A = this chain, B = another copy of it.
Amino acid sequence: MTRYDPEIGYDVPARVGDPVAAVMTPALVVDLDAFERNAARLRDFAAEKGVRLRPHAKTHKSADIALYQMAEGGACGICCQKLSEAEALVRAGVTDILISNQICGAARADRIARLAGQARIGVCVDDPAGVAELAEAVARHGTSLNVLVEVDVGCLRCGVAPGEPAVELARLVDAAQGLTFGGIQAYQGALQHIADPADRRAAAETAARLTRDTIDALAAAGFACETVGGAGTGSFRMDTDLGQVNELQCGSYIFMDADYDRIREEDGDRPGGMENALFVLSGIMSQPVPGRAVCDAGLKALSVDSGLPRIDADGLTYKGASDEHGVILDPEGKLSRGDQVWLVPGHCDPTCNLHDWYVGVRNGVVETLWPVTARGKLY
């Protein structure tokens, strides 16, 4: 009856073969059919358009999913956002990772240089000091790194300005033994969540123009960009049409979330035709008065930074989250204590990072359990 095994010392939320009704809630559940269809959609899109695909593992932080994306999903490798995330995935067997972010400080440079002895590792830079730290570390370890210069094409976060500043940094990378200039990182993250397709296209066009200017400036200085990385779930079709990015870094596509419900392609379809594959399965723990039910998934089971979860059933509204409770409005009295509800989280990435396990479900039965390999890997 219990899944806690004192001999092992840890919990699992379900066992393979369990019916969904036996899953201990709240649990992070993957609809495996929808998940596989999403993976195939982006694989087929990239193949048709002739661009590489390097999905972002910051969404799922799972070695099993990363390896699936590489084996079945058309991925040439994966992206991570943090060094310790990449370390965890390399330890679990992932062989090709771009850290699509800056690595700051001598301690991290030492770690990434060592990691580069175990897998093919790329990283971004946007500062001469970062280049110097990486160069010193790879020289000490006798390893090499593929380095992309991050360019700010409208995200207003990290990255050098487009054009000449990128060329200056490319020269520093190129001059450093053990560092290979691999191209540019041109991700416009703010794009993904612009609801209006016309506004989103305008931002994508700006990003593409700034990317083109930078590619041209680098070419004039003798630097070819093998990789132009960028694009996310909300913009990969537009970005591919615009023709600058050659390696897609979509992350959320594999799961989707309630915030992406707002985002539509120009034809009214969901981004890339993707469907929701991720749920927080939650149990009704109290039904104190008619019209109100209380579920066991609150702020520690789902992230509300991009809004409250949507309930995958008519007539029910998730009204408010406290640390360990969710209050559900149920005017028609559909829910009883002990029932389960399927919540579509507002934002998939930080929600996955709250959980230790994915419960993979097909036809109402638990088919697999995947650990959230890099959960909490923050450095």
Is A77 among interface residues, defined by CB-CB distance under 8 A?
Answer: no
Q: Are A2 and B111 in contact (CB under 8 A)?
A: yes
Q: Interface residues of A toward B: which range?
A: 35 or more
* Chain A contacts with B in 146-205, Cβ cutoff 8 A: 152, 156-161, 189
* Chain A contacts with B in 1-20, Cβ cutoff 8 A: 1-4, 9, 11, 13
Chain B residues with CB under 8 Å of A296's CB are 104, 378-379
Q: Are B350 and A376 in contact (CB under 8 A)?
A: no
Considering the chains assembled together, what is the distance between the CA atoms of A304 and B346 in angstroms? 13
Chain A binding surface SS class:
loop
- A73-93 CB contact bits vs B (8 Å, 1 = yes)? 000000001101001000100
**Which residue in B288, B301, B379 is a CB contact (below 8 Å) of A159?**
B288
A79 → chain B closest CB, angstroms = 12
Chain B residues with CB under 8 Å of A104's CB are 283-286, 296, 337-338
Considering the chains assembled together, what is the distance between the CA atoms of A11 and B115 in angstroms? 14
Q: Are B160 and A1 in contact (CB under 8 A)?
A: no
Q: Are B322 and A1 in contact (CB under 8 A)?
A: no
Q: Smallest CB-CB separation from A82: which chain B residue?
A: B324
Knowing A158-B294, A286-B158, A338-B104, the reply to whether A4 touches B189 (Cβ < 8 A) is no
> What are 19 A-B interface contacts by the 8 Å CB criterion?
A1-B107, A2-B107, A4-B84, A24-B107, A25-B379, A26-B378, A81-B324, A101-B285, A101-B324, A152-B288, A157-B327, A158-B286, A161-B288, A161-B289, A299-B349, A300-B350, A300-B353, A300-B376, A323-B349
Q: Which 6 A-B pairs have the closest CB atoms?
A: A158-B286, A104-B285, A299-B350, A81-B324, A24-B379, A300-B353
